[in-house]
Amino acid sequence: MDPNLAILTQVASDILGRYDLELTPETRISTVKGWDSVALVKILLTLETQLGVEFETYDIPNIQTVGDVVKMMEKAQA
């Protein structure tokens, strides 16, 4: 599994309180139970702290899929 996807899955699991998540880059966030805008913020802030990065606020409205978050992680770490 892509390392960033693995990190995201772990963080999302902790925040959503669900350890049965099977996320792929194509997974649409709106289909993940519990993943609303509040959860998204919590996930992004946790990822920033864990990775020591800061995401671009401007990219956030474009997030539709898990893959979009992974791309943000890659961009921030570049």
Partner 1 sequence: MTINPSPKIIAIGTALPESVVTNADLSARFNDDKFNSFLEIAGVSERRALKPGQSAGDLAVCAANAALDAAKIDRNEVDAIIYRTQTPEFRIPATACIMQDRLGLSAKAMTFDMSQGCGSFIPELATSASLLATGVARNILAIHSDAFSQIFNPMDRELAPLHGDGATAILYQQGAENDAIAIDWFEFGVDGKQYEHIVVPEGMSRRPMRPESLIEETFENGSVRAPYQLKMNGAAVFHFVVHTIPPFIRNACAAHNTPLENYDLVLFHQANKMMISMLYGMLKIPKEKQFYFIEGTGNMSGVTLPFMLSEALKAGRVRSGSRVLLCGFGAGLSWGAVSLRWQSTPCATPPTSVLK
Q: What's the CA gap between 39 and 22, in Å, rounded?
A: 17
Q: Which is nearer to partner 1, 1 or 61 (CB)?
A: 61
**Which residue ranges make up the site for partner 1 (CB under 8 A)?**
28-30, 33-34, 36-38, 40-41, 44-45, 54-55, 57-58, 60-61, 63-64
Query: DSSP H helical segments within 1-78, as ranges?
Result: 3-16, 37-51, 66-77
**CB-based contact 74:4 (threshold 8 Å):** yes
Computed on alpha carbons and rounded to an integer, the radius of gyration of the chain in Å comes to 11
1 vs 20, which CB is nearer to partner 1? 20
Rounded least distance, CB 77 to partner 1, Å:
17
Q: Which is nearer to partner 1, 37 or 50 (CB)?
A: 37
